[in-house]
């Protein structure tokens, strides 16, 4: 018995201050988790439970590598997000037990083909081509949780060519990290290696090839990369 071809390697994310890497299992994402962004997309922040979608694990881009502008879109949007990296999992995890599953946190960009997403929303179609494309999930190194200290507040910001586009605070999240893990585990058996992108604040906008994207989250980390022609 042999593999019929050599498999693609699983993506790994560096861990800050260490030679270790975090092997990625799945990527889950939360939509519409900051009030201002929900309003800018035309929704009512408090009305609905969290919206979940996913990206393939190999959408990850690490080490500030340049990202190619994707095919089939004329409106690529940046969304800076706090990313939760799970070191444990399970199903039906209670809110009180949820944070014990967290290995660490990172800064991620949920790149979105906004034109395709708008079309999908209008027609009631899935979001996969709008969200789950190649290189759609650049991520910083992961900061491991120390002494049970989790980021519940602090600045989350993104600039393009040094011009501020998104500038908010983690305390503006509608659903907390513990609530997201608990709710997500009703639908999926969460595993060590899963990443959860927890939603973006207001200020999402288009980027083009040549743009320099920088983002940071206080006490978590930063990401700094270029978008290049596809």
Q: Looking at 84-92, 170-178, 179-187, 192-200, which segment touches Mn ion (CB under 5 A)?
A: 192-200
The binding track of 94-133 with respect to Mn ion, each residue x by CB under 5 A or -, is ----------------x-----------------------
Nearest to 207 by CA among 51, 15, 78: 78
Q: Looking at 88-96, 139-147, 162-170, 198-206, which segment touches Mn ion (CB under 5 A)?
A: 198-206
Question: Three-class SS of residue 93?
Answer: coil
Question: Three-class SS of residue 188?
Answer: coil
Cβ-based nearer residue to Mn ion, 110 or 194: 110
**Residue 194 found at the interface with Mn ion (CB under 5 A):** no
* Member of 117, 140, 200, 216 binding Mn ion (CB under 5 A): 200
Cβ-based nearer residue to Mn ion, 41 or 192: 41
Residue 91 to residue 190: CA distance in whole angstroms: 6
CB within 8 A of 135, min separation 6: which ones? 59, 61, 67, 68, 70, 111
For the CB of residue 199, give the shortest distance to Mn ion in the complex, in Å. 6
Q: Looking at 4-12, 55-63, 74-82, 216-224, which segment touches Mn ion (CB under 5 A)?
A: 74-82
Closest residue by beta carbon to Mn ion: 110
**For strand 195-197 and strand 27-31, is the pairing parallel, antiparallel, or unpaired?**
parallel
For the CB of residue 96, give the shortest distance to Mn ion in the complex, in Å. 27
Number of residues in contact with Mn ion under rule CB under 5 A: 3
% helix, strand, coil for the chain, step of 5:
20, 35, 45
Residue 177 near residue 164, CB atoms below 8 Å: no
Residue 81 to residue 170: CA distance in whole angstroms: 9
Question: Would you tell me which residues interact with Mn ion (CB under 5 A)?
Answer: 79, 110, 200
């Amino acid at each position: 018995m042999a593999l019929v071809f050599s498999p693609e390697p699983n993506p790994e994310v560096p861990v800050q201050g260490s030679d270790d890497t975090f092997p990625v299992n799945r990527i889950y994402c939360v939509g519409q988790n900051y009030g201002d962004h929900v309003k800018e997309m035309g929704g009512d922040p408090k009305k609905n439970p969290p919206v979940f979608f996913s990206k393939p694990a190999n959408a990850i881009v690490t080490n500030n590598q340049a990202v190619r502008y994707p095919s089939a879109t004329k409106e690529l949007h940046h969304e800076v997000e706090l990313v939760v990296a799970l070191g444990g999992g399970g199903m039906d995890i209670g809110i009180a037990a949820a944070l014990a599953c967290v290995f660490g946190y990172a800064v991620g960009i949920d790149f979105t083909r906004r034109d395709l997403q708008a079309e999908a929303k209008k027609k009631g179609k899935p979001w996969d081509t709008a969200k789950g494309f190649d290189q759609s999930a650049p991520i910083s190194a992961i900061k491991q949780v120390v002494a049970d200290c989790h980021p519940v507040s602090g600045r989350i910001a993104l600039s393009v060519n040094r011009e501020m586009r998104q500038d908010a605070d983690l305390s503006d999240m509608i659903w907390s990290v513990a609530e997201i893990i608990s709710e997500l585990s009703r639908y999926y058996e969460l595993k060590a290696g899963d990443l959860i992108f927890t939603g973006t604040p207001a200020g999402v906008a288009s980027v083009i090839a040549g743009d320099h994207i920088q983002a940071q989250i206080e006490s978590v980390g930063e990401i700094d990369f270029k978008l290049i022609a596809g």
